[in-house]
Structure 1
Amino acid sequence: MQLRDRRFLLLGGTGGIGQALIPQLLSEGARLLVATRRPDSVTLPEGVTAVKLDLAAPNLDEQLQALTDEWPDVYGVIHCAGQNRFASIEQSTMADIDGQLMVNLRSAMVVARHFVPVFKALDGGALVFVGSTFGSIGYPGYSAYCATKFGLRGFTEALRRELADSLVQVQYFAPRATVTDMNPEPVNQLNRALGNTMDPPGQVAAQLVSAMKRDQRRCYLGWPEKLFVAINGVLPRLVDRAMLKQLPVIRRFLDSGVQL
């Protein structure tokens, strides 16, 4: 995929991986729109434009139409917005569940629904979705988050096959644990206790840009996480046993009473 002189709409660009993507994409010559609910409240590098978009809004489709009316030259969308909450299912509020469903999954589907015909009319375009290792491995304390990321992975797989005879590209990118403000300190402590590697967001962003340039349809990061994804697909009982051994440590943080 060529990035230079092409305009991309970046969703989730004001924090974490998305924020780290901005300088990486600019260095490749891309032109950027960064979506945010409050464009006036963000400071962005020169040449990057903030646009108003609320991914959890019921009228997201109307907002997307207004955006493309103003910016008809959008070539690609990078969806790396997300919400999560480390909580047992009984601790999860309806707001927690609804928020994750709306932002992590529904918004990705609405974005694709809007941009697929736009890109077909332009004879090409790219839809890039940032998922997670937890889109392939169910993990205790992240049942709602995993459900949305499993859904996102399935959606992108089906969409890629649906558009296989077109010039619209669909890419799925799955990082492992990443150091971002979305993770509260108890989650960082849990990862350290379990010996889980947490990648810096700049490193993840660089690998995402590399995957885009190589037209890599699916990209999973991290070892041994990629191995666990493969094992979980064919021998899930082995992963069940490994998770059972980790469960006492996970519960120590999950049931600590800390509001994460």
Structure 2
Amino acid sequence: MADRKPGAPCRAILTGATGGIGRAIAWELAGRTDWMILVGRNIVALHALQEKIGKSKAHVIAGDLTQEGTLATIDRLARQLGGANLLVNNAGSGDFHDFETQDAGAIRNLLDTNLLAPMLLTRRLLPLLKEADTAQIINIGSLFGNLGYPGFAAYGASKAGLRGFTQALRRELADTGITVRHFIPRATRTAINSEAVVALNRALKTAEDTPEHVARQFVQFLDGSAWETTVGAKEAFFKFINQMLPALPDKAIAGQLSVIRKHMPK
């Protein structure tokens, strides 16, 4: 793991552990951690994952990350276990929708879950992470946090905020033993995708990864030193072009707009 002393134990906290990507990351991390705290909403799925990994290694917390009580429980358990040196903020939700008619509650939920919850959990755990010789915070983002896309205005805003938070906190903690990093999967076949998203990806012939492939890419990133990576060479290039020459993605996405509108919930 980047910036971790050879032989040092890895003690990880992973949110969104019962989702497709989270479950696959938990499995990949199982062989390289002393213990893990797996956080999710579905207690049955958490216990099933705990049984596969082993109860002595996997500790589970079922709760809502937008609630202060859940954050306190995570902090308390990590302290009881002797401290943590890896926090993976993976939990998130999605909503593909026409922004004009998108429910205000759905927009608030996206911002609470995808941005505010990881910010507040990170803030809560910083004193504990600082007790380790070195530690990492890895936030799981989205390509749409770097590339504005129709139907994902609110979702993209939440993920863009997460990227901004990651970069600013990374610089703020540059004189500590904590590194803050950003991992960007591309489209992945998980339950977070609604039927409309699945149909849109099929219509646009969007490249999709399995959660297992994403988890393997995550582990490679974990062992590296880059502060940010994007899964998929084409997606990384498109993100770069969007930053440098945004008129080109404007034109390309405009050419997809009729297809997007056909599948976009209203």
Say whether the fold is shared (TM-score over 0.5): yes
Secondary structure at 1:74 match in 2: coil
- 1:65 offset after TM fit, Å? 3.6
Q: Secondary structure at the match of 1:205?
A: helix
1:164-183 counterparts in 2 under 5 A?
Answer: 164-183=174-193
How many residue pairs match? The answer is: 256
How far the C-alpha of 1:91 sits from its partner, in A, is: 2.7
The code of the aligned residue for 1:156 comes to T
Which of residues 83, 90, 94 is equivalent to 1:84?
Answer: 94
Written as runs of structure 1 = structure 2, the 5 A alignment for 1:99-248 is: 99-248=109-258
**1:237, distance to aligned residue in structure 2 (A):** 1.4
Normalised to the residue count of structure 1, the TM-score between the two structures is: 0.91
Which amino acid in 1 is paired with 2:195?
Answer: E
* C-alpha deviation, 1:240, in angstroms: 0.9
Cα 1:30/1:240, change in 2 over 3 Å:
farther
Cα 1:27–1:86, aligned 2, differ >3 Å: closer, same or farther?
A: same
Map Cα deviations across residues 46-96 of structure 1 (whole Å, 9 max, x no partner). 132212342122555434443334334222111111001110112311221
Q: Is the 8 A contact 1:125 1:169 kept in 2?
A: yes
Q: Give ranges in structure 2 of 5+ residues lacking alignment.
A: none
- CA offsets, 1:231-259, max 9 Å, x none? 1111111111111100000001015x6xx
Q: What CA distance in whole angstroms lies between the structure 1 residues aligned with 2:181 and 2:92?
A: 17
Unpaired segments ≥5 residues, structure 1: none
* 2:141–2:162 contact (8 Å) kept in structure 1: yes
Contact 1:4–1:28 (8 Å) recurs in 2: no
Letter in 2 for 1:227: F
Taking the aligned partners of 1:51 and 1:189, their CA distance within structure 2 comes to 34
Please list the CA deviations of residues 5-58 of structure 1 after superposition, one character each: whole Å capped at 9, or x if unmatched: 421011001011001112211133452110123536631221322123421225
Letter in 1 for 2:19: G
Name the stretch that deviates more: 234-243 or 32-41. 32-41
Report the RMSD for the aligned CA atoms in angstroms.
1.9
User: Which shifted more, 57-66 or 96-105?
Assistant: 57-66
Q: Is the 8 A contact 2:146 2:160 kept in 1?
A: yes
Pair 1:23 & 2:33 matched: no
Please give the alpha-carbon distance, in whole angstroms, between the structure 2 residues aligned to 1:234 and 1:172: 20
Deviations 1:128-178 (A, max 9, x none): 110011110011001110000000001100111111111101111001111
